[in-house]
Amino acid sequence: MVINYGGIVAIVVFYLMILFVGIWAAKKKPDGDDDADDVMLAGRSIGIFVGIFTMTATWVGGGYINGTAEAVYSTGLVWCQAPFGYALSLIIGGVLFANKMRSQGYVTMLDPLQDKFGERMGGLLFLPALCGEVFWSAAILGALGATLSVILNMDNELAVILSACIAVAYTLFGGLYAVAYTDVVQLLCIFVGLVNTKKLHEYT
C-alpha cells in the first residue's frame, strides 16, 4: 500500500486547525449563557461577515460539491437541481421569513408554523425536517469519508467516525459560536481546493 505522506500531513493540519478554531471560538461564548439563543443561535450576534460564511458553508459542503459534480457529469446541468433549489430557498427564506422570525424570537423554521397551525402540525412537520437533517449529515460525512479514503487509503467508517467526533467535540464546548467560526475556515479551504483543482486540471 502506497502511503500519501503529503495527504496525511494536510489532513492532520486541517483537523488540528478546525479543532483549535472551534476551541478558540468556544471561549468567545459568554460564561453562564446556556439558553437556546446562545447555544443554537450564538446569541443572535455573530455578525454579518461570519453569518454569511457560516450560512454558505452550511449549504455548500462536501455532499453538495461532490453531488453537484456527479449530477452535472452524469446527467447534465439541466438536471442538477441543487444549486437552483438552494438559491431559491435562500432568497424566499430571506425575503419572507428572516426578519419576521428574528423579530418574534423564533429558533427554528418550525416555530412559526407550530404557532400558526398548532403543536400537532408542528410535530408532524418535525418528521420530514428530522429526516432531511439526518440524510444531509450522512451525505456530508459520506463525502468526507470518500475523500479521506482516496487521499489516505483510509477506511470509510473510520474516517466518518473521526470527523464526527471532532465536530461533536468543538460543538459541545462552543455551540454555534464554534460551528460558525470553523465554517469560515472550512469554506476557505473548499475555495482554495476548488481553485487548485481547476489549475491542476488545466495543467494536465
Interior/surface letters 146-155, b for 16+ CB within 10 angstroms, e for the rest: ebbbeebebe
pTM: 0.65
pLDDT tens for residues 11-27? 778 778 877 887 777 67
* Stronger pLDDT, 195 or 122, i.e. the higher one: 122
Amino acid of residue 97: F
pLDDT band with cut points at 50, 70 and 90 for residue 33: low
Are 101 and 112 contacting, i.e. CB atoms less than 8 angstroms apart? yes
Note the pLDDT of residue 3.
63
Of the pLDDT bands very low, low, confident and very high (cuts 50, 70, 90), residue 30 is low
Whether pLDDT at 204 is above 60? no
Q: How big is the CA angle at 42 (ends 127 and 159), to the nearest 5 degrees?
A: 65
Nine-digit cell string for 34: 446556556
Model confidence pLDDT, tens digit, residues 134-192: 888 887 777 777 777 777 777 778 878 877 887 777 777 666 777 777 778 877 877 77
Contact 43, 33 (CB under 8 A): yes
Domain assignments of the chain as residue spans, ordered by start = 5-203
Q: How far apart are CA 52 and CA 196, in angstroms?
A: 23
